[in-house]
Amino acid sequence: MTFFVFFSPVEIAVLHFMIALWNPAVAWVVTMLTLVSLLWLWGDVRATKLRPLTVSNTTLNLSTGIKLTACIPLALVELAGSKDPELSKAETLDMSGFDSANTWITFKAPVEVEMLFGLKKKVRAIALTVDSAPKFHKALLSE
């Protein structure tokens, strides 16, 4: 994320001036759209920090920013580990973002997750990147 913070203003300025040579109105539209995209990205990063994954006595609350929300009973968690499950791509959801997934959660039955713009999807496994995978796996499977 730090990369985007430092280099996006430079990229926006250079792109604006290059497009302005061709058409100033289009340059301003592209610049505004880029700024809105940066604000949306910043908001998603903030939401990810403010809405962490939590494990209670009975439920797993998944929330990765504004991209995914689900409240799943721990009784449905079949396996938590670092190995990819042998399921079809339609049955899995990779929410690891820019990093590679260090945790796969496999469920006994399909669970419904709410994704961006309120879209719903039923999945049997979700890939995540968590800070301490062994502790997270233990918390999921110890209940």
pTM summary value:
0.71
In this structure, the answer to whether residues 17 and 77 fall within a common structural domain is: no
79 and 43 within one domain: no
Same domain, 28 and 76: no
What are the tens digits of pLDDT across the range 54-101?
888 888 888 877 778 888 898 888 888 888 788 888 888 888 776 777
DSSP element (H, E) containing 107: strand 103-115
User: pLDDT category, 6, cuts 50, 70, 90?
Assistant: low
Q: How many domains does the chain have?
A: 2
Strand 92-94, strand 120-128: pairing: parallel
Do 58 and 45 share a structural domain?
no
| pLDDT at residue number 30 | 92
Note down the domain range covering 22. 2-50
* Same domain assignment for residues 37 and 73: no
